[in-house]
Structure 1
Amino acid sequence: MSGPGHGVPSAAEVNAAHAAKKHFVGMPAPLGYVAGVGRGATGFTTRSDIGPAREASDVSDDRHAPPPKKPRKHDDDEEVDLNESNYDEFAGYGGSLVGKARNRKQRLGNAREKYTPMTDAMLAKSMGGQSVSAIDPKSGLASALPGTASGMLTPSGDLDLRKIGQARNTLMDLKLKQSSDSVSGQTVVDPKGYLTDLQSMIPTYGGDINDVKKARLLLKSIRETNPNHPPAWIASARLEEVTGKIQAARNLIMKGTEVCPKSEDVWLEAARLQTPEIAKACVAQAVAEIPMAVRLWMKAADLEQEDKSKKKVFRKALERIPNSVKLWKAAVELENPEDARILLARAVECCPASTELWMALARLETYENARKVLNTAREHNPTDRTIWISAAKLEEANGNDKMVQKIVDRAIAALSASGVEINKEFWMKDAMDSEKGGSIMTCQAIIKAVIGVGVDEEDRKETWLEDAESCINQQANECARAIFAHALSVFPKKKSIWLRAAYFEKSHGTRESLESLLQQAVQHCPQAEVLWLMGAKSKWLANDVPAARSILSLAFQANPNSEEIWLAAVKLESENNEYDRARKLLTRARDSKKGAPTARVYMKSAKLEWELDALKTALKLVEEGLEKYDDFDKLWMMKAQILQALKKIEAARDTFGVAVKRCPQSVPLWRLAARLELDQNNTTKARSIIEKARLRNSRNPELWLEAVRIEREKGTKEQALALMARALQECPTSGILWAEAIFMENKPQRKSKSVEALKKCEHDPNVLLAVARLFWSERKVEKCRDWMTRTVKLEPDLGDSWVNYYKFELLHGTLDQQEDIKKRCIASEPKHGELWCKYSKDIRYWKESIEFFLLMAAKDLKPPQ
């Protein structure tokens, strides 16, 4: 027991003793003090400590301020966490037995020895073939690399990447040498193929592996639920094949052959997945299980390398399946003609319904035997039209032309009697195939037999012309010729059919075929002037001028008052230098009793004299013509131009003044009148004339274009642009205006302008030509050529297109391309186009050819800028 008497101190004494030893006892805790924090405890704060909630703008409470930061220690003093959670009974604080033995400077030194790897961008450049020899020191990489220590920095401070590459190669060589065999000295690593080996280890499937797992589980469930379902085994095998597990695929499919031994598809899949030798054994087992499977026998033959082995397989197959046409055809293809004939003789016995086998046998037999074969084939296949067509081809090939039409007609009758529908489209296709095979008479006989099938009587003409056009588009010219022949036999008096047939012969036939057709045409349609003229022109182009005169003479007899025939005769004589003959013909034509005194006859009369430089005579003839035909604008134009040639400017001006009053709707008259004033530097007068013309002829694009060009020539670009804007508002679908507007824009805006032009007038040749010239100005050769081709196809009569195309090929094409454009232009005989008519209408070149105009215009044409 303790008590006062036993020397035990009282409570007051203890407190006094504590007070003497600890000066803080009984004093309030300092701010921020947390009891037990030095022994691992964590502080916490309650609502009673901080009081009620305060606004963010309230004055802070200094009682709960954070503890002050400790002063920074010297670098040699390392700060150690003395928390009990960091204490280890063996290693002490911080996990180190030596405590503060490591110096901070040493650790910092070791940290500075770390290397920074190269960036992905630099690696990508090196892989892409770009040469990067140094790193920009400002990029921050140079400071992180050990430049001075490794000796790889250039004197300027940049990193030499070539030395890095050399060091890398040296290191790789060293590693390869280290991996060599110590006994034989040979390397166990292929230095050239190790990347290939790594590539082969990469799986080929690039999809989500989770999808593969789901598919694998699903297919497994299907196989377990319905093991006799072949598609499940095939799909499972293909899944493994796609993911690169070929052996697993083989194992699965072989298991499928065990479960589904009667499935042809499973066996074929198994043969596909196996190696060739194993595939042979697999197919052998398959045909044992399914001996009637044709595809398995075909696969077995495909797996054989030698024809002898293939033949053996096919013969075994035919023993099992003698009625398989596919097997017979494959077997015949491996034989020589004699053995094939014997084999086919047996084949048609086993497969009498196969038309192909009968046809093949007939081709290998002699003429007499082939006829017997086809007759037998027709007995076995009474509803097959191809046997009849083959019989017709056989007769044609052996010169028995009379039988061809009879066989085709008999075929139509026999098939109709057997209840077979005569399908016109099928027979037309057979006719085209016969033409391609060289059986022209068979083709024509088929056309004649079926062209009227299913066509109403009132629709025959239009339908047959459409059929002929369809054949022409498919390059079946003989079929088209046969259609025209049949149509003309039914409608011999139809001028339109004769014309279509004549144009067809002109484009796709020979001169002889054209002239023969025209001779028949004028006999049936003697009043068709154009047919006479085509015949005369054909003879003239063949340099047979007497024959051309003879045709025109016959044409005069049939059409005594025909203006076209008179003028054609005049042209024939004048272009063959028979000027006296031409003058006499024109004199007779102007005679009201014997000829055709029309306005064009007077114009041609005056033009001939003008061409022969007899200007006064020409002027007299023009005035005579104007007395009778004062509303014919071309006579007024000729008079004014002849006066200009005679240097009578005032008289020409007066002529234009009268002319525009008599012919106010003639746009060329207004334009020529304005051009006369421009040539005399009377710009204001020219503007006035065009303004009057626009008032008389509203919405006329040619007059608007003339007004725009007047301003452009005088240098008032702003006024020209304003006029063009008004013109496009009034004539929004005018190709000539849009074509001009494109090149009035500055180069950056031309493309957008061309797009707008194509939207407004997509099929206008002037716009297409402008777009082609735009590509030409941008040096886009192939695009320009494509658009030029499109332009001349759309409108071959536009001479400007041919001139631009030829000039383009002169600069960018080959000699063959240039000659091709020239020939196509001559064949098209263009007559229109502003640039083209500048030369073709020039009186000085009245005797020149189309080739001359093409070369002359192309020489003066400047490439677009």
Structure 2
Amino acid sequence: MASRRDFLSQPAPENYVAGLGRGATGFTTRSDLGPAREGPSEDQIKAAVEKRTRQLGLSEAKDDDNEDESRFQDPDNEVGLFAGGIYEKDDEEADRIWQEVDEKMARRRQKQRLVTCSFHPFLGTIPLPSIPCPSEASGLSSEIDEQSTDEYHSHREAREQAEKEEYERLNPKISQQFAGLKRALETVTDEEWANLPDPKDLTGRTKRARQARMQRFYAVPDSVIAAARDQGQFGTTVADDGNATETNKDGTVTDFAKIGAARDKVLRARLEQESQSSGTATLGSASTIDPKGYLTSLSNMQGAEQSIGDIEQFRKMLKSAVDSNPKQAASWIAAARLEIAAGKPVAARNLIAKGCEQCPKSEDIWLENIHLNENHNAKVIAANALRINQKSVKLWVEAMKLENDPRSKKKVIRRALDHNPESEALWKEAVNLEEDVEDARILLAKATDLIPGSLDLWLALARMEKPENARKVLNKAVKKLPNSHELWIAAARLEEQLGEGHKRPVMKNAVKFLARQNAMPKREEWIAQAEKCEEEGAIITCQNIIQETLGYGLEEDDGRKETWLEDAKGSISRGKFATGRAIYAYALRVFTTSKTILLAAVDMERNYGTKETLCEVLEQAVEACPNIEVFWLMLAKEKANDPTESRRVLARAFNQNGDNENIWLAAVKLEADNHENEKARHLLKMGREQAPTDRVWMRSVAFERQLGNNQEALELVNQALQLFPAAPKLWMMKGQIYEDLDMVSQAREAYSTGVRAVPSSVPIWLLYSRLEERQGNVVKARSVLDRARQAVPKSPELWTELIRVERRAKNISQAKSLMATALQQMPKSGALWAERIMNLEPRTQRKTLLAEAIKKVEDDPILLVTAARILWSERKLDRAQNWFEKALLVDRDMGDTWAWYYKFLLEYGTKEKQADVVAKCILNEPKHGEEWTKVAKNPKNAGLGTAEILKMVASQLV
């Protein structure tokens, strides 16, 4: 044991490679200079060859130059790199197995007696000499003749070599194809190599690519230059039609609305395409394709530009669907429509023809085939389709439409009726083709006998019959269709046509009959039928339907009043005013004294009815509710054009409401408008005695001021203040009378006393301050407003007036300081924001401040008008008009808004638009607004109408 070396001192085994068990490999290269192992020596190679030859019993391989290639293929002739390997038992076993495989393959080939030729898929037939191949069935010895076997193998190898060379000649490798070009590279000089361009970076992410894009220049189209030239020009008219069009200088019209619609359509198609491509999964089989889904996608593809790849993708999908289920007609139809979309009508016709062969019982595919072909071919196709589908009504109707003359159409329809005698659609087509009324009536009579359950046929027959026979037809139809309420409505309309709509209670009998049959429709359905009758001109039938059915099924506790009001509003919103009028009439028969229903009915007649219908409703209202003065006043106003009738109405109102101040003032206004000053003065005197209210006294003072009797007005206002010292308008009128008389000190005293008596009245403070400012006493005006702000702390009007005083006094910095304080206390005041935007800030900051104000203040008419004025100044006329109309929707009682809008339309609007605004202003009768009240309350403008006041205010706006 002591003589044995330790493990590290022992020599390494033969063919040992360090680290081989851990995955390392040993190799030797020509460039290695160092510890790499040397290859086997010549002696080792010869010894290995001799050993291998002895073991296999083979002769020594010939050293021939032509066998170099086979040397590396034959495992028995291993020389060179593998000659120094150890031949182990597993190598011997592997060689034996491969030898058996070769022998077995040789025996399989020997079954052919003669090998005369060989076939190659690329080279065709290659003739070879006939060589006998030994076989076990030849009757010779079972052992294979070695010489025959070698001869056979040699010929086989020669044949394979020839096939290989021919294949490589016909299919050269890429390296062989470019061999000439590679040799030509030898002549390329260094300068040519240096001048070769760099390869492009298609990713677009490198710095060089970004710089290249920035340095690109393109020719600008003429349309862009023309648009830039016209960008600074202003329009001078407001377009009322709303069409976004532009007329070019060459006479063409550019429709931007259509361009935008087309752009949206293309974008929608592309988005759908992307969503389909991103969500598409791998199809497991052809049966997973949904032809109807493809049909829907094809309809979405219409009108959008599709690439060839998209159409090809759809074509493959639809072909898969057709192949997987050829009996489904939807797949064939979708495939044909795809070809039409791709611009290949011939291919579409061929596809749909094949589909008709596969699905002969589908009427949809036959209809599609008919539509895709011209008239002559379509007739042939329709004939073939009808031979197979004689019961298809759609195919018969389509075949009829293919005919050009009425006679042929009638012939087709009659043949269709022979096969489908109970088809309602065919009978209707046949009746429509008849030009003679009598022939049509005969057809309808025959049709009703064959199809007694068709409501439309019965109604058509009743319309064609004479009135006496029509009643019989309808009675017969009711027996066949006892649950049809349409027949009863038709009977009611017939009686209306005969002038007996109010005499014969057809609808009353209908309700009883249908109730017994348990076929009574819902109340909403009856209202819909009434609206239909109104639309067709049967007003009496409409009223009868509402009268007999509106209360059906409703109890007293079901909120009938609210329900009927909603029904009436719904009909009015749909433009069915006769139905709404009938609903209100029925509701007033149940709730006779309901003020809500009466006001709703009056409002409908004022907006949508005539003057006569409005007067009728008001007469009904004053009879039902004589103590409600609003109905008397409205009736007197409607009869203002006839002073006699108006006086009669007010006289009746006095009898019912003798002490009502509104009636007294309406009578005074009537007489004043008709220039009956003495009668008006007398009525006011009687009113002060019988209805002594502050309004009657104020109207008396105002009437005297309008007549220019300031002394009488002063006496009346002093008397009134003794009775009503807390009435702010009386103090204001007293101060204004003194101003008219140029008695400034007395006017100052009146305002001073008024603010002490009524400190919460903002208008008195404003009049007091303006009086002092007009007298040149700005300090006093400022003091008055300071006292007013103490009395009324958060009044936007007072703060606005104080800021204006400072602005008019050229104290801009003080005005801005006050504005900042005011907006801190009242950030949602539109008047303050408007004052700041228009008068305190430069023009460049207006839009920014306006955006900030609109965020803080919602729906303020003053601020909305300010926005419109800013857009107006920038010549953005359409947007300015939209903002004016938005302000009117927020508050129609603001007269200043109407005046600004009218002033805008005088400059940029049309005559029709101006007249429309004036008419709407008269209808709404605005009463508020800073500039509006100055003109409307001026005694000099007494008696002017709304239109005159509107024009005066618009002319004074700056």
Q: Would you say 1:507 and 2:507 are equivalent positions? A: no
Residue 770 of structure 1 is matched in structure 2 by: 866
Which residue type is aligned with residue 934 of structure 2?
A: K
Equivalent residues of 1:205, 1:243 under 8 A apart: no
Preserved CA contact (<8 Å) 2:684 2:700: yes
Question: 1:8-54 deviations in whole A, cap 9, x for unaligned?
Answer: xxxxxxxxxxxxxxxxxxxxxxxxxxxxxxxxxxx999999xxxxxx
Partner of 1:650: 745
1:138 alignment partner in structure 2: none
Is 2:493–2:501's contact at 8 Å kept on the other side of the alignment?
no
Alignment of 1:600-611 (within 5 A): 600-611=695-706
Once residues 346 and 439 of structure 1 are traced to their aligned partners in structure 2, the CA distance between those partners, rounded to angstroms, is: 29
Distance (Å, rounded) in 1 between the aligned partners of 2:182 and 2:614: 117
**What amino acid does structure 2 have at the position aligned with 1:766?**
I
2-structure distance, mates of 1:89, 1:268: 63
Query: What residue identity is the alignment partner of 2:332?
Result: W
- Residue type of the partner of 1:858? A
* Cα displacement string for residues 287-339 of structure 1 (whole angstroms, at most 9, x for unaligned residues): 11111111212222232233332222222212211222222223322322513
- Asked if residue 353 in structure 1 is aligned to residue 449 in structure 2, the reply is no
Matching of residue 370 in structure 1 with residue 470 in structure 2: yes
**Of 648-657 and 562-571, the range deviating more from structure 2:** 648-657
Percent identical pairs in the alignment equals 43
Pick 1 or 2: higher relative contact order, CA cutoff 8 A, min separation 6.
2
Query: Aligned residue for 1:526?
Result: 626
1:311 corresponds, among 397, 410, 417, to 410
Q: What is the rounded CA distance, in whole Å, between the counterparts of 2:639 and 2:617 in structure 1?
A: 13
Q: How does 1:266-665 map to 2 (within 5 A)?
A: 266-338=365-437, 339-403=439-503, 406-458=505-557, 459-540=559-640, 542=641, 544-591=642-689, 595-665=690-760
Over 3 Å counting, the alpha-carbon distance change for 1:533 and 1:213 in structure 2 is closer
- Aligned partner letter, 1:847: G
2:346 to 241, 247, 253: 247
CA contact (8 A) 1:455 1:463 kept: no
**In structure 2, do the counterparts of structure 1 residues 566 and 220 end up closer, same or farther at CA, with 3 Å as the change threshold?**
closer
Q: Please tell me whether the aligned partners of residues 511 and 520 of structure 2 are also in contact (alpha carbons under 8 angstroms).
A: no
Instruction: Give ranges in structure 1 of 5+ residues lacking alignment.
Output: 1-42, 49-84, 109-119, 132-202
Counterpart Cα distance in 1 of 2:574 and 2:179: 100
Q: Is the 8 A contact 2:899 2:950 kept in 1?
A: yes
Paired residue for 2:767?
672
Question: Aligned pair in 2 of structure 1 residues 416, 720: CA closer, same or farther (>3 Å)?
Answer: farther
* Deviation of 1:582 (Å): 1.9
Contact kept? 1:589, 1:597, Cα under 8 Å? yes
**Is the contact made by 1:205 and 1:244 (CA closer than 8 Å) also made in structure 2?**
no
1:502 Cα deviation after fit: 2.7
SS of the aligned residue for 2:892 comes to coil
**Which residue does the alignment assign to 2:956?**
860
* Structure-2 residue corresponding to 1:780: 876
Q: Please tell me the residue identity of whatever aligns with 2:774.
A: D
The residue type paired with residue 715 of structure 1 is: K
Deviations 1:785-829 (A, max 9, x none): 333334334433222222222222221222232223222222322
Q: Deviation per CA, 1:369-421, whole angstroms, max 9, x where unpaired?
A: 222222222222222222211211111122112246x2112222222222224
Tell me, yes or no, if the aligned pair for 2:701 and 2:716 is still in contact at 8 Å.
yes
Q: Give me the whole-angstrom Cα distance separating, in 1, the residues matched to 2:555 and 2:827.
A: 44
**Alignment partners' CA distance in 1, 2:812 and 2:952:** 30
User: In structure 1, what residue type is equivalent to 2:347?
Assistant: A
Q: Say whether the 8 Å CA contact 1:533–1:565 is kept in structure 2.
A: yes
Counterpart for residue 914 of structure 2: 818
> Which of the two has higher C-alpha Rg?
2
Q: Say if 1:127 and 1:440 are closer, same or farther in 2 by CA, change over 3 A.
A: same
Closer/same/farther in 2, CA of residues 707 and 420 from structure 1, 3 Å limit: farther
CA contact (8 A) 1:603 1:635 kept: yes
Q: CA deviation at 1:552?
A: 1.7
Deviation, structure 1 residue 209: 5.1
Provide the C-alpha distance between the structure 2 equivalents of 1:764 and 1:467, rounded to a whole number of angstroms.
33
Q: What secondary structure is seen at the aligned counterpart in 1 of 2:482?
A: coil
Query: 2:922 touches 2:946 (CA, 8 Å); kept in 1?
Result: yes
Check the 8 A contact 1:205/1:242 in 2, yes or no. Answer: no
Q: Distance in 2 between matches of 1:767 and 1:622?
A: 38
Give me the whole-angstrom Cα distance separating, in 2, the residues matched to 1:376 and 1:91.
Answer: 100
Deviation at 1:629, TM superposition (A): 0.9
Secondary structure of 2:935's aligned partner: helix
Counterparts of 1:304 and 1:573, CA distance in 2: 77
3-state DSSP of counterpart to 1:527: coil
Partner in structure 1 of residue 113 of structure 2:
none
Mapped pair 1:848 → 2:953: no
Q: 1:699 to 1:455 in 2, by over 3 A?
A: farther
Q: Take 2:767 and 2:409, find their aligned partners in 1: how far apart are those partners?
A: 85
**What is the rounded CA distance, in whole Å, between the counterparts of 1:601 and 1:408 in structure 2?**
54
Counterpart position of 1:4: none
Residue 818 of structure 2 corresponds to residue 723 of structure 1: yes
SS in 2 for 1:402: coil
Give the partner amino acid of 1:639: K
Q: Please list, as runs of the form range in 1=range in 2, the aligned pairs for 1:736-751 lying within 5 A after superposition.
A: 736-744=831-839, 745-751=841-847
Give 5+ residue unaligned stretches, structure 2: 1-29, 36-174, 196-214, 227-301
Once the two structures are superposed, the pairs formed by residues 46-445 of structure 1 within 5 Å of their partners are: 125=220, 207=306, 212-338=311-437, 339-403=439-503, 406-445=505-544
Inter-partner Cα distance in structure 2 for 1:45 and 1:648: 126
Give the Cα separation in 2 of the matches to 1:352 and 1:630.
85
Deviation at 1:747, TM superposition (A): 3.6
- 2:143 is matched with none
Give the root-mean-square deviation of aligned CA atoms: 3.6
Matched AA of 1:568: A
Normalised by the length of structure 1, the TM-score is 0.74
In the alignment, residue 236 of structure 1 is paired with which amino acid?
A
Residue 804 of structure 1 aligns with which residue? 900
CA shift, 1:94, in A, is 5.9
Distance of aligned partners of 1:348 and 1:580 in 2 relative to their CA distance in 1, 3 Å threshold? same
Residue in 1 aligned with 2:250?
none
Deviation at 1:278, TM superposition (A): 1.9
C-alpha separation in 2, matches of 1:822 and 1:344:
57
Equivalent position of 1:791 in the other structure: 887
Residues 209 and 539 (structure 1 numbering): CA distance in 2 closer, same or farther, change over 3 Å?
A: closer
Partner residue of 1:75?
Answer: none
* Structure 2 length-normalised TM: 0.67
**Alpha-carbon distance change, 298 to 493 in structure 1, aligned in 2, over 3 angstroms:** same
* 1:217 CA drift (Å): 4.2
Letter paired with 1:583 = R
1:32 aligns with: none
- Measure the CA separation in 2 of the matches of 1:89 and 1:419: 98
Decide whether aligned partners of structure 1 residues 365 and 711 sit closer, same or farther in structure 2, where only a CA change above 3 A counts: farther
Structure 1 distance, partners of 2:698, 2:384, is 95
In the alignment, the residues of structure 1 paired with residue 620 and residue 575 of structure 2 have an alpha-carbon distance, to the nearest angstrom, of 25
Q: Determine helix, strand or coil for the equivalent of 1:681.
A: coil
Deviations 1:164-210 (A, max 9, x none): xxxxxxxxxxxxxxxxxxxxxxxxxxxxxxxxxxxxxxx99954655
Q: Which moved more, 1:818-827 or 1:627-636?
A: 818-827
Give, in angstroms, the shift of residue 847 of structure 1: 2.1
Rounded Cα–Cα distance in structure 2 between residues aligned with 1:412 and 1:681: 82
